[in-house]
Homo-oligomer: A and B are copies of this chain.
Amino acid sequence: MLTERQKLILNAIIDDYVNSAEPVGSRSISKRSDITFSPATIRNEMSDIEDLGLLEQPHTSAGRIPSEKGYRYYVDHLVKRNEISLQEMDRVREYFADRMLQAENLVEEAAGILSQLTKYTAVALGPEIYRTTMKHFQIVSMSPTTAVAIIVTSTGHVESKTVTIEQGVGPADLEKMVNVFNARLTGVPLHLLRTRLYNEVAAELTRHVDRFEQVFKIIEQALEPAQSHRVIIDGTTKIFDQPEFRNVDQAKHLFELFGDTETLLKLMTVQETGVGIRIGKETGNEALSNCSLITAAYTFDGKPIGTIGLIGPTRMSYGRMVGLLEFISQELSRRMQGLSGGS
């Protein structure tokens, strides 16, 4: 446990370092208005805080920088959130209000404004498909052996997949299948489609359709993409402005991550509904070793349906970021609700 004075000093060091990106010395801390004691005292305290693992020294005769553990302590005990200004809140609201948005774009726009306001990279997961429902199913045949299957979701998202049709399945079979599918499964959450299909609709389908197995295979194919999230990313090039990423190799690793939707998806998939902060190694990803990941879920009908978040250097202004992300995710949820005419 830190003493009050140690907390004050740690707070001051992080505050300084976040702005300057330079190791912080005892003298510059002592000049702050909220610090009343001398550099020597600060040095002693800094040494103690370093022993606790919250600070690091790049080399003997340099100032201190916060360690990942230090940031963690700061985030858990010291940060005052909601430093978000009224102007920024207005800007976000205006941004959203400015355009007639469809649910799909809404998340993109949210990522856009988030990245603009923070100067960091914004990542978002589209409305989680497992929690949205099927609105319409359609098959458009392209050739005797191929067709395009289309699923429209309750959020206005359209998923399409080219499917192959086995021999012997005719247009009549397809039409019946589509009819039954629409009649019985509209409004069913996407992730339940497959089970519901087997349990409730299979019987009826067999009655109407000759080649049930083949038709079923087509549906299986069609459902495939519907299960994938949509990963949105914005402001990727902003990381080049951060001094810690002037090193090309580090930047390269980050950009490889930015292009890897698979991994981003895993990183962004979070259970908790509040704002979550992962610092450096806590992200579990090598490429993010000098980065922090802040995420927030957005909701629909009170249930989380997607995630929006930020990737920035560990040296970031957590208070502001958390406040901003909290606000934007709330605003996003609200707009989402408004759009889809939810309860």
Contact = CB atoms under 8 A, between A and B. Distances in A.
Most buried by B among A102, A103, A135: A102
Interface stretch (A42-50, A67-75, A252-260, A309-317): A252-260
Given A152-B148, A160-B158, A240 B259 contact: no
Interface of A: 100, 102-104, 135-136, 138, 140, 142-143, 146, 148, 150, 152, 154, 156, 158, 160, 162, 164, 236-237, 240, 245-249, 251-252, 255-256, 259, 340-341
A156 B148 contact: yes
Nearest to A135: B140
Contact of A143 (B146, B240, B341): B341
A236 B258 CA distance: 11
| Smallest CB-CB A-B distances: 9 pairs | A102-B162, A158-B160, A240-B252, A136-B140, A140-B152, A237-B255, A143-B341, A156-B162, A246-B248
Contacts of A340: 142-143
Contacts of A146: 102, 156
A152 B246 CA distance: 45
A136 to B, nearest CB: 4
Nearest to A161: B102
Copy number in this complex? 2
Given A237-B252, A237-B255, 17 more contacts: A100-B164, A102-B162, A104-B162, A135-B142, A138-B150, A140-B152, A142-B156, A142-B340, A143-B340, A148-B152, A148-B158, A150-B152, A152-B160, A240-B249, A240-B255, A245-B248, A255-B255
Given A148-B152, A148-B158, A158-B160, A138 B135 contact: no
A331 to B, nearest CB: 20
10 contacts: A135-B140, A138-B150, A142-B156, A150-B150, A152-B160, A236-B255, A236-B259, A240-B248, A240-B249, A255-B255
B150 A158 contact: yes
Contacts of A138: 138, 150
Contacts of A150: 138, 150, 152, 158
Contacts of A102: 146, 162
Nearest to A144: B341
A154 B143 CA distance: 10
Contacts of A148: 135, 152, 156, 158
